[in-house]
Chains A and B, each alone.
Chain A
């Protein structure tokens, strides 16, 4: 393994231990208290598992789901029905199949079955829901919550209907709830730092850029949705075995808002935040519930019976968080990433050191991948007769293009010539009205961007489209993960690419903190991590000053030699293309004007005319 690591060992240890210690402390508080406090703390730990479930999906995808409590409800009902004594089953749910009615599982068995059942249910429900757009998922999941409520509340013979279930064995103890919560936190962290977790986080940071790196958004969301459903199911199963009673409203709107508040108050992106937020919000909630019931709070004051006070408190916390602290108490950091923890640890992170120089050739050897021999590759990226019209505006009118492995082709043309549109077509972001795209002899027309990236065709964008919350090393590693690399290999690859592009000093810094020129370079690094055979660079120098542009050209030249992929370089700044590309294609008004060497292009009057206008050629203005 390379010496490059995503996070230093002390930071990793703190991140893993902090939530576990917090859970242990919570258990300790419960153990030392009255039986009623024990019960309350046990309930909070069950809620925490549901909140961790929310965090897995919402925190990593950045897309809100309002339906996860439906899975908690399903888990609770499954576990309750599996443990209800047969006599009670006959009384409450006569329509239950014998297999379940006669089942008499223990606490662990019923929770495990509920977990699996909810995971499967979430996968089945998620299959259509995750296909809906990013905007629609909060709404379609909210609809699922209502559908689940409607079904549970009316399926009297199986669920007991709106009256709910009673006499459920109360088997969830304080310690077992703590252990389950600790396991859930570990699972949430493991997922977050897995390749799947990183791929999903990349879609949260920038969906378009993630797709360009081989990441299938729907699939990644579905994985997290199913895992989230599983955790919510566990939380529901344990909670019902704590309270002993269950109704369709137990895990409905109020519980949805409460758990959501816990997650965002702690910081949605952080597992530690989910644990911390649960404890913080639950404490306030309990305090208010005491006031609500007319109890004296801390023996001090009482304002009589005020229903709804706890829920108002939750609403206010949610509102205050959104307005004043949208990233929550942890700012979305894991414990080991908190700045003050970093100072406490008092040492520089391992990865902050410049990575050791790379000795192995790029793209292979060291990590076991066969080195690419690009020149010998037979294939090419070919486009035939690409035509695109936006309404009546014909942007491309039958353009051909061929890019061979190992070559650098410049694509130039004045603004509005159709360069970026052509790149969008080649990379699968835009379906042309006519024409085909062929990748190494295979027709790939109509394939989605992430499939093309996995097939070896990757692009960058005119904007840097950074993943702001990920470190540079993580950002680039995500590129390798997108095409299916395992974590260790992806990180090693990312280290090598950063090293090659001179960004190794930036490895642990957040991508958003880089100056613009380096962000642009990071975009190239990210794309290179996907091991492209063909790399489409859309105006990498746009917005950079002259010195930065020249530096970029030098680096790109290194890329061309070192990485061996075919590069399509789009620019309207001629000088950059001329110094880098032995072959240049000129696009004007949606058609190819000329293909030739830089010298030929420079001398071609039609190209000059396209760029500078007709009058430029007339002697009077020369």
Chain B
């Protein structure tokens, strides 16, 4: 019983982390119809900001990570994604892959390919005793941050003018433009929020693993993509559900797979969603765009 509860909390925590990744991916997708490969690099660069600011007080390092995530996302949009905004989805996807490759290798050139360890406050790696459960503090942090982010995002999207503009752009970009929504602003804002989410994820990943590496964004971006796909393209709630599902699956497989199959956990985690997509090709909630046009 205790073990089950423990595993469920672990699953929820990892699911929350994955949901944050998926939200970052889907925010950009919903206004621009672009699956952004470079989201993983936004995460990676935010984590490197934490590494670069290792000597500073932790609060300042966190702020630096956040600012880095936001600035990189806005810069990538301005430099690379704006020229292909009108292009088809495949072109945008491959463009973001190019950006990801460039960012990843710039970091590799500047800070070499080996992982670097990053010190985090001791509190993060301690555990709290809850009855018979011992819960890592990091899981509380993850769950708390996720709740905070969801609430903040909900407030922004449904209680502010900017959020209304974003939702309108997500529904029908061209119509929103005709009605006076400023495309450049809405897209820049989506990237900024997406970058901030990436920074949160980057910080959590550093806290989890204690290190940074140039390729650390690859698995998260795949997680984000798959979560968005199984949740339904362009659906905020779908992204959260997809992320939770994927994180829970990964965590529970880690807990219950036989030892000799444990190394193949990722193979199981990423094969599962394909099964969902065969039966629900548009994802669990159905895609918000891309309906069959006849």
Q: Which residue of A lies closest to B103 (CB)?
A: A315
**Most A Cβ at <10 Å: residue of B95, B215, B222, B270:** B270
Contact A326 B270 (CB under 8 A): no
Question: Please, which residues of chain B bring their CB within 8 A of the CB of A151?
Answer: 264, 267
- Segment touching A, from B136-144, B156-164, B204-212, B277-285: B277-285
Q: Does B229 touch A at the CB level, under 8 Å?
A: yes
Q: Which residue of B lies closest to A423 (CB)?
A: B294
Q: Which residue of B lies closest to A257 (CB)?
A: B101
Question: Please, which residues of chain A bring their CB within 8 A of the CB of B219?
Answer: 146
A133 to B97 CA separation, bound complex (whole angstroms)? 20
Q: Does B54 touch A at the CB level, under 8 Å?
A: no
Q: When the two chains form the complex, which single residue of A150, A253, A315 contacts B264, counting CB atoms closer than 8 Å? A: A150
Contact A315 B99 (CB under 8 A): yes
A453 to B90 CA separation, bound complex (whole angstroms)? 29
Q: Does B271 touch A at the CB level, under 8 Å?
A: yes
A155 to B263 CA separation, bound complex (whole angstroms)? 8
- Segment touching B, from A237-245, A316-324, A515-523, A562-570: A316-324
Contact B278 A128 (CB under 8 A): yes
Closest chain-B Cβ to A216's Cβ sits at a distance in Å of: 15
Closest chain-B Cβ to A375's Cβ sits at a distance in Å of: 31
Q: Does A154 touch B at the CB level, under 8 Å?
A: yes
For chain A, give the interface size range: 35 or more
Contact B113 A307 (CB under 8 A): yes
As a 0/1 sequence over residues 221 to 261 of chain B, the CB contacts with chain A under 8 angstroms (1 = contact) are: 01001100100010000000000000000000000000000
Contact residues, A292-328 vs B (CB, 8 A): 306-309, 311-312, 314-316, 318-319, 322-323, 326
Q: Which residue of A lies closest to B271 (CB)?
A: A147
Contact A139 B226 (CB under 8 A): yes
Q: Does A140 touch B at the CB level, under 8 Å?
A: yes
Contact B98 A322 (CB under 8 A): yes
Question: Please, which residues of chain A bring their CB within 8 A of the CB of B89?
Answer: 135
Q: When the two chains form the complex, which single residue of A208, A264, A306, A319 contacts B109, counting CB atoms closer than 8 Å? A: A306
A307 to B111 CA separation, bound complex (whole angstroms)? 10
Give B residues with C-beta under 8 Å from A.
Answer: 35, 80, 83-84, 87, 89-91, 93-95, 97-102, 104-109, 112-113, 214-215, 218-219, 222, 225-226, 229, 233, 263-264, 266-267, 270-271, 273-275, 277-278, 281-282, 287, 290, 292-294
Q: Does A534 touch B at the CB level, under 8 Å?
A: no
With contacts A142-B222, A151-B264, A322-B87 taken as known, whether A315 is within 8 angstroms of B270 at the C-beta atoms is no
Question: Please, which residues of chain A bring their CB within 8 A of the CB of B293?
Answer: 208
Q: When the two chains form the complex, which single residue of B99, B222, B281, B294 contacts A146, counting CB atoms closer than 8 Å? A: B222
Q: Does A260 touch B at the CB level, under 8 Å?
A: yes
Question: Please, which residues of chain B bring their CB within 8 A of the CB of A146?
Answer: 219, 222, 266, 270
Contact B87 A315 (CB under 8 A): no
With contacts A64-B94, A136-B229, A264-B94 taken as known, whether A150 is within 8 angstroms of B266 at the C-beta atoms is yes
Contact B94 A318 (CB under 8 A): yes
CB<8 Å pairs between A and B, sample of 5: A131-B277, A154-B263, A260-B97, A307-B112, A322-B91
Contact B108 A307 (CB under 8 A): yes
With contacts A135-B233, A306-B109, A307-B108 taken as known, whether A323 is within 8 angstroms of B222 at the C-beta atoms is no
A261 to B102 CA separation, bound complex (whole angstroms)? 13
Contact A309 B222 (CB under 8 A): no
A144 to B277 CA separation, bound complex (whole angstroms)? 14
A373 to B220 CA separation, bound complex (whole angstroms)? 62
With contacts A135-B290, A140-B274 taken as known, whether A311 is within 8 angstroms of B222 at the C-beta atoms is no
Query: A154-B264, A315-B105 are known contacts; what are 18 more A-B pairs with Cβ within 8 Å?
Result: A63-B90, A64-B93, A133-B281, A133-B282, A142-B225, A143-B271, A144-B270, A260-B94, A307-B113, A308-B104, A308-B109, A309-B105, A319-B95, A319-B98, A323-B84, A323-B95, A420-B294, A429-B292
